[in-house]
Amino acid sequence: MPSPPNSDCNFEMSCSLHFIGTGAADHDWKNIGAPGVRGSACTLLNGHILLDAGVTAAVNLGRFGAEPDAVTDLLITHTHIDHFDPQAIGKIIAARSADAAPLHIHCSPEGVEILRGNSLETQCRITAVKPGDTFLVGETQVTALSSNHLIKERFAEETMWYLFRMKQGNLLYALDGAWITTRTAEMLRGISLDWAVWDATVHQTADQRSFEHNDLTMVEMIIAALKTRNTVTDKTVHILTHFARTLWPDEAATRRIVEEEHGKLMAYDGLKLTF
């Protein structure tokens, strides 16, 4: 469970999740920092693994005191602009000191092409990733999982979630995507999750976006189903993120629904959890 938020992460001893951006793509990013405006999806794991870098990533890393030099790896879930913005990635790279090791970016083959098209391949190390791939980032074992999501401009792109297996425990980073694919449910069989970060774009059920994003009821159904396999237990900490501005009430009401009524944690920009 979360311990005091000021205990900075040590790779060996604890696990930290620093939420840099927690909104869906309908937030007014020109007014980032204003009340109610959430940044594009971006999370820093253990102080050095950055998960997604969309439009507001560079700005919000600065706002929340995350050092670009500390980031060793950037893992991209998919190439929607709120998760993958070559300009923002370029700014993060430019903010690193000259003697920092090249940033290692892991993304879909389509993302690799976009990075090359933006001439970023000379400034970082790039590895193509597909669902099913497992690789190491430091001592953390990462597995890319399939997700039910779609880039309309790039129909063939396989969108991904990530599973992190660490000494400290197992973390599922599950955005963007609706439900859980059969393939991913199978790949999670036998694994007990300590923490799960869920796409919670939608509040009310029966929204057209529930073909590509979860609503709150869907999150509860996924969790209940995973409990029958012990992938999720009563000890699993669930954190909801990727809130759409237009599909949830204001911040206070959203927190009440998520935390008091549903017993999950509501991510917000700047939230740092140390486990």
- Kindly list the residues in this chain that would bind Zn ion in the complex (CB under 5 A): 80, 82, 176
Minimum distance of Zn ion from residue 269's CB (angstroms): 14
Residue (194 or 215) nearer to Zn ion, CB: 215
Minimum distance of Zn ion from residue 57's CB (angstroms): 12
Provide the sign of the torsion angle of the four alpha carbons 180, 182, 183, 186, taken in this order: positive
Minimum distance of Zn ion from residue 81's CB (angstroms): 9
| Closest to 176 measured CA to CA, from 200, 157, 155 | 200
Kindly give, in sequence order, each residue whose CB lies less than 8 Å from that of residue 208, ignoring residues fewer than 6 positions away: none
Minimum distance of Zn ion from residue 128's CB (angstroms): 19
Minimum distance of Zn ion from residue 219's CB (angstroms): 15
Residue (70 or 247) nearer to Zn ion, CB: 247
Give the DSSP per-residue string, 221-274: HHHHHHHTTTSS-TT-EEEEE-B-TTTS--HHHHHIIIIIIT--EEP-TT-EEE
Residue (130 or 167) nearer to Zn ion, CB: 130
Residue (140 or 148) nearer to Zn ion, CB: 148
Residue (18 or 149) nearer to Zn ion, CB: 149
* Residue 206 buriedness (CB in 10 A; 0-12 / 13-18 / 19+): exposed
| Closest to 103 measured CA to CA, from 113, 89, 119 | 89
Neighbours of 249 (CB within 10 A): 11
Minimum distance of Zn ion from residue 209's CB (angstroms): 10
Residue (83 or 96) nearer to Zn ion, CB: 83
**Backbone angles phi and psi of 141, in degrees to 5:** -90, 125
What residues form DSSP beta bridges with 134? 143
